[in-house]
Structure formats: C-alpha cells, structure tokens
C-alpha cells in the first residue's frame, strides 16, 4: 500500500462517514437526502454493491428499502462499524480489484473512491471494475468532488485574502496532495471530466448533475431542522428546474459533489 493509500486509511480510521452526513453540518444532511432521491432510480429488490461505502450510511438505508446490499471498503475499521448493522454484507476490499465475479450486481454505487484516486489510470480501473461486476443494463452511481467548489471553498476559508499556487493548481488540473493532517487529498473533477471518464469506461446513457447544489454555503452551518427543511426545499426546486436542461451539467460544477449516473 502506497503512502497516499496509508494516509487515506489513517484519515478515515479517525472518523465516521455517517456522522459527517447526519450530524456535522446542514450541507452533509442535504447531500444525504439528495443521494437518496437519486437512488429512486434503482429497481425494487436489486442486488447493490456499495464501493467505498465506509460505515454503511447508504448501504443500511438501501437494505431497509428491500435491496440485497454488499459493501466493500479499504478501511478495516470502517468495515467493522458497517458490519454492526447486520442487514448487509460488509467486506474489506479495493475499488481497483473487486473480489466478485463478473455480472454479479444490478447496481454499483461509488461515492468516495474517485475522490482519492489521483491518477486517472486508477480511476478508470475502478470504473471498469464496477462495470465488470454489473449485469447488462445495470446502473452505476458515481460521486466526484467539484474542482470549482474546492477552489471556492479554499478562497473563502482564507477570508478572500489570498489565492495560493495550490488553489490555482487544483483549478487547473484537479490534483491536490495534502502532506499535513486532515483530508489526504486526491482529485477534484469537472462535470465534463466525470462524463469523459464514464464514457471511457464503457458506460452509456450518462447523466451528470449536481448532487447538493448550492450547499457549499451550508457546509459550515450546524444542522437545525428548520434550516435543513427550508434548504432541502430549495434544493429540490432547483433539481426540478434544471432537470433536462442543457445547462444542468455545467451548473453541476457549482455543487460540492457532482453526481454521475451511467448504464452498462
């Protein structure tokens, strides 16, 4: 395991993805609700693979909806937490080498792996692996971190007082490596780039949309129910307004997370 992989393991061993999505901020809750709305495309009683599923926040909910769910994640401590749900299978594994036969699943969810695979070849391997284990006609749901949103967040954190060479590099290439504590870095996408990677991996009927636009402003706000509900109402109205419009894919760049949906 390389040093970047080791720092990813260490970072996620210290936290709980379910807490980030449910307790830390309004933005996290909006992201979770939007993800669940997107999962309405999944047919009843599907076999679902949650790749990089962490502690099982999505897997547990999908299992409650009647799906047969398998979670795979490289961080052993996260998998141990996921196993405590006892409603789905949880395994330690790498998105680039999935321990499953071809055409095993109806749906693959990849919310996380593309964030950390800085090398485009690794991202294509991971996407190709997801395609391999999908049955014909199967769906993939992929989340990517927005390059523009990451740049904006960094500038805002400085109070707008500075734009560093690193900020410009993220905007230019999408690549960022953090040698210090905290988020270990990886790759930040544009909407067009995510579409290109899905196409190059052999997926069709691709849809690229914002997952949680415009929730960057909500990332620093503690979750209060009245604020969550009003913000979610706004988000759903925006989703309905932009649905099917050519500009929707471009606007996805303003979202902290970009969602890609494709079909095998």
C-alpha–C-alpha distance, residues 131 and 200, integer Å? 11
| Token pair of 233 as six digits | 């109402």
Please count the structural domains in the chain. 1
Q: What is the CA radius of gyration of the chain?
A: 17
What pLDDT does 17 receive?
58
* pLDDT tens by residue, 126-155: 999 999 999 999 999 999 999 988 777 777
- Region of poorest pLDDT, from 16-20, 56-60, 157-161, 195-199: 16-20
71 is a domain residue: yes
CATH code, domain with 41: 3.40.50.150
If 0-12 CB within 10 Å is exposed, 13-18 middle and 19+ buried, where does residue 223 land?
Answer: middle
What pLDDT does 1 receive?
41
Q: Which long-range contacts (CB under 8 A, 24 or more apart) does 169-177 make?
A: 171/147, 174/147, 175/118, 176/150, 177/4, 177/118
What pLDDT does 37 receive?
93
* pLDDT tens by residue, 172-223: 888 877 666 666 678 999 999 999 999 999 999 999 998 887 666 666 666 6
170 is a domain residue: no
171 is a domain residue: no
| Of residues 188, 184, 197, the one with CA closest to residue 168 | 188
28 is a domain residue: yes
The percentage of the chain sitting over the pLDDT mark of 90, rounded to a whole number, equals 53
CB 170 within 8 A of CB 147: yes
Tell me: pLDDT of 13 over 80. no
151 is a domain residue: no
What pLDDT does 21 receive?
61
> What global pTM score does this model have?
0.87
How many beta carbons lie within 10 A of that of residue 256, not counting itself?
26
What pLDDT does 96 receive?
97
158 is a domain residue: no
Q: Which domain holds residue 140?
A: 3-146+178-263
Under the banding of pLDDT at 50, 70 and 90, the label for residue 80 is: very high
C-alpha–C-alpha distance, residues 139 and 78, integer Å? 25
Residue 43 DSSP one-character state? P
Tell me: pLDDT of 233 over 90. no
Tell me: pLDDT of 25 over 80. no
* pLDDT tens by residue, 82-137: 999 999 999 999 999 999 999 999 999 999 999 989 899 999 999 999 999 999 99
- Region of poorest pLDDT, from 38-42, 109-113, 189-193, 225-229: 225-229
Under the banding of pLDDT at 50, 70 and 90, the label for residue 30 is: confident
72 is a domain residue: yes
18 is a domain residue: yes
What pLDDT does 103 receive?
98
Task: Render the burial of 138-168: b for 16+ CB within 10 Å, e for the rest.
Answer: bbbbbbbbbbbbbbbebbeeeeeeeeeeebe
């Amino acid at each position: 395991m390389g040093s970047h992989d080791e720092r990813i393991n260490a970072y996620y061993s210290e936290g709980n993805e379910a807490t980030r999505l449910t307790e830390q901020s309004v933005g996290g809750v909006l992201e979770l609700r939007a993800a669940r709305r997107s999962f309405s495309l999944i047919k009843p009683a599907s076999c679902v693979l949650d790749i990089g599923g962490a502690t099982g926040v999505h897997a547990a909910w999908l299992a409650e909806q009647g799906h047969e769910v398998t979670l795979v994640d490289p961080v052993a401590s996260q998998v141990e937490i996921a196993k405590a749900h006892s409603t789905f299978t949880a395994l330690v594994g790498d998105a680039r080498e999935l321990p499953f036969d071809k055409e095993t699943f109806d749906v693959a969810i990849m919310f996380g792996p593309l964030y950390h695979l800085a090398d485009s070849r690794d991202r294509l391997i991971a996407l190709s692996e997801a395609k391999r284990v999908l049955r014909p006609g199967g769906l993939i749901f992929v989340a990517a971190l927005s390059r523009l949103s990451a740049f904006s967040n960094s500038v805002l954190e400085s109070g707008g007082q500075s734009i560093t060479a690193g900020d410009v590099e993220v905007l230019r290439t999408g690549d960022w490596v953090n040698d210090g504590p905290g988020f270990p870095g990886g790759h930040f996408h544009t909407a067009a780039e995510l579409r290109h990677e899905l196409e190059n991996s052999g997926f069709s009927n691709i849809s690229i949309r914002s997952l949680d636009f415009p929730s960057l402003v909500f990332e620093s706000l503690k979750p209060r129910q009245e604020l969550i509900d009003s913000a979610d109402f706004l988000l759903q109205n925006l989703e309905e307004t932009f649905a099917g419009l050519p500009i929707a894919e471009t606007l996805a760049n303003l979202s902290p997370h970009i969602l890609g949906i494709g079909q095998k």
